[in-house]
Amino acid sequence: MPRHRSTSDPTPPCYAMVFPGLESIAAQEIVQDLRAEVKKTEEGIVIFRAPEINSRLLQLRTVEDVFLFAWGTDELTYRAADLERIRRWTDRQADWAQLLRIHHAIRPKPKGKPSFRIVVQMSGKHGYRRVDARKALAEGLAGKLPPSWRYAEENASVEFWLTINNATAVCGLRLSDRSMRHRAYKKEHAPASLRPTIAAAMVRLAELKPLHTILDPMCGVGTILAEILAVPTRYAVPPLVLGGDVSMSVLRAAGINLRRLGKAHLLRWDATALPLADESIDRIVCNPPFGKQLASPEQIPELYRGLIHESNRVLRTGGRAVILAGDARTIKESAAKVGWKPLRQLRVRVLGMPAAITVWKKE
Ligand SMILES: C[S@@+](CC[C@H](N)C(=O)[O-])C[C@H]1O[C@@H](n2cnc3c(N)ncnc32)[C@H](O)[C@@H]1O
């Protein structure tokens, strides 16, 4: 990783924090939507250089947060000597004045006294504590901000972040806020409701085309459907969006979440016996329940088999299915039984459990 950049760079690199497992999808979105060049991908991090740094960075859907890159390394030693490097790199290897200028252009300073916050995340076994790394970062930042700026844990105008992941560290200024990953549409939640960035990644993997009909047969509070409707400009003709669930209460919540986004047809149904014609659907994107979400987890294999069998009936030949499930083995066995071709698999952890997003084509 380039430890620092030349101070004459007109646009500094940026990095995005990504839900682990989704790095390749996020990198694809960054390249396609921002015309950016991806420099490096690490677990949970994508470093890139965009031709322009503007508010379009905040419209990315598969990333959790976006930052201006100050410095980075993949050569941490795990020893306390790293602390002096963190202090020195923060002090000397970043053009903080330029980064702050770009930050203020995208996120204007709120009225009143400007405030700042320091956030340090650390994983891996290091010979120092997170507070020590934080202190080193704070020492490196000394004199970089006007003395009138005050420290604030809440609603700070500027956030300095250092993320240490084993031998890798990235340091920068956060451009996004919590609204990037928590989506304004999500008014109603359910315990099993999907993280929006994962739903967005699944929608990308589905590769929707104009005039497609897309179905989430177990839509819960509608996160996958929302991620389709939330970016209408991506499609020349908006897709026909269908969703349903066995539970009336989550369907009501889905109706509320989707109300302002566009038209989705919602129905109460059993996903293993859908009231839909054979070969009528182009794309299925679905996140069936995980074992621990059902009263009796032993029902999962049967439910998954029924879901795939019925999905195969309604899916057009050439259609795709994108499925996030904990029990990927049953999904694979059922998909093999109906003759679906595997296209891709991404491993993720959902609700603390290993899971996989699998992508299939009906041939
Ligand atoms: C993991 S949740 C889906 C979460 C959804 N993606 C969201 O973001 O809210 C699984 C959903 O499957 C529904 N479900 C379970 N069995 C079903 C069945 N046989 N037919 C339709 N829906 C079912 C549950 O009610 C639950 O809402």
21 with 166, same domain: the answer is: yes
Please check whether residues 163 and 191 belong to one and the same domain.
no
Please identify, among 181, 196, 220, the residue that sits at the C-terminal boundary of a domain.
Answer: 181
In a domain, 1, yes or no: no
Can you tell me the distance from the alpha carbon of 200 to that of 130, in angstroms, rounded to the nearest whole number?
32
Residue that is written with structure tokens 């989506």 in the block: 183
Token pair, residue 133, equals: 């790394």
DSSP string, 305-363: HHHHHHHHHHEEEEEEEEEEES-HHHHHHHHHHTTPEEEEEEEEEETTEEEEEEEEE--
Q: Domain ends where: 181, 198, 232?
A: 181
Instruction: Note the pLDDT tens digit of each residue in 249-271.
Output: 999 999 999 999 999 999 999 99
Q: Return the number of other C-beta atoms located less than 10 Å from residue 86's C-beta.
A: 26
- Domain count of the chain? 2
Give the pLDDT confidence score for residue 34 in this predicted structure. 96
Angle at 310 between CA 309 and CA 311, to 5 degrees: 95
Domain end marker among 154, 181, 208:
181
205 and 346, same structural domain? yes
Does the pLDDT of residue 67 top 60, yes or no? yes
List the residue whose alpha carbon is closest to atom 13 of ligand 1: 218
Q: What is the length of the chain? A: 363
- What pLDDT does residue 207 have? 95
Q: Which residue has the least CA distance to atom 25 on ligand 1?
A: 247
CA of 168 relative to ligand 1 center, distance in Å: 38
- 173 and 193 in a single domain? The answer is no
Give the percent of the chain with pLDDT over 70: 94
Is the residue at 9 inside a domain? no
Q: How far is the CA of 102 from the centre of ligand 1 (A)?
A: 43
- Same domain for 224 and 164: no
Which of 218, 258, 268, 296 to mutate for ligand 1's pocket (most ligand atoms within 8 Å of CB)? 218
Nearest to 165 by CA among 124, 119, 120, 118: 124
Q: Which atom of ligand 1 is nearest to the CA of 307?
A: 19
Same domain, 109 and 135: yes
With vertex at residue 281, the alpha carbon angle to CA 277 and CA 282, rounded to the nearest 5 degrees, is 160
Could you tell me if residue 3 is inside a domain? no
- Let me know whether 158 and 193 are in one domain: no
CA angle 82, 83, 88 (to 5 degrees): 95
Structure confidence by residue, pLDDT tens digits, 130-151: 999 999 999 999 999 988 899 9
* pLDDT band, residue 111 (cuts 50/70/90): confident
Q: Residue 290 belongs to what H/E stretch?
A: none
Cα(339) to centroid(ligand 1), Å? 24
DSSP H/E element including 158: strand 158-165
Residue at 4 is within a domain: no
Residue 133 domain flag: yes
State the chain's mean pLDDT as an integer: 93
> What are the residues facing 42 on neighbouring strands?
45
CA 133 to chain centre: 27
Q: What atom in ligand 1 is closest to the CA of residue 293?
A: 1
Residues 145 and 219 in one domain: no
Evaluate whether residue 7 is within a structural domain. Answer: no
Half-sphere exposure of 147 (CA within 13 A, CB side): 0
**Could you tell me where the beta strands, DSSP code E, fall in 43-96?**
45-49, 65-73
Same domain? For 205 and 340 the reply is yes
Q: 130-141 vs 81-92: helix axis angle to the nearest 10? A: 30
**Strand bridging mode 150-151 / 65-73:** unpaired
- Residues 82-88, mean pLDDT to the nearest whole number: 97
Pocket test for ligand 1, best of 185, 246, 309, 351 (most atoms within 8 A of CB): 246
Tokens standing for residue 52: 């322009």
pTM of the predicted model as reported, rounded to 2 decimal places: 0.93
Please report which confidence band the pLDDT of residue 2 belongs to, taking 50, 70 and 90 as the band edges: low
162 with 197, same domain? no
How remote is the CA of residue 36 from the centroid of ligand 1, in Å?
Answer: 36
Pocket-testing residue among 197, 221, 224, 245, ligand 1, by greatest number of atoms within 8 A of Cβ: 245
Q: Please tell me the predicted confidence (pLDDT) of residue 344.
A: 97
Q: What is the spatial distance between Cα 102 and Cα 109, in angstroms, rounded to a whole number? A: 11
pLDDT-wise least confident of 55-59, 214-218, 231-235, 257-261: 231-235
Any domain includes 5: no
Q: Which is the closest atom of ligand 1 to the Cα of 216? A: 6
- Which range marks the domain in which residue 222 is found? 183-362
CATH number of the domain encompassing residue 354: 3.40.50.150
Residues 162, 209: one domain? no
Q: What is the CA radius of gyration of the chain?
A: 23
pLDDT given for residue 113 in this prediction: 86
pLDDT band at 210 (very low <50, low <70, confident <90, very high): confident
Atom of ligand 1 nearest to the CA of 223: 8
Question: Is 272 inside any structural domain?
Answer: yes
CATH code for position 47: 3.30.2130.30
Residue from 327, 256, 261, 263 nearest 289 by CA: 327
Mark whether 109 and 154 lie in a shared domain.
Answer: yes
Ligand 1 residue neighbourhood (C-beta within 6 Å): 190, 192-194, 218-221, 223-224, 245-247, 250, 270-272, 287-289
Residue 240: CB atoms within 10 Å? 16
Q: Which helix (H) or strand (E) holds 22?
A: none
Residue with CA at minimum distance from ligand 1 atom 12: 218
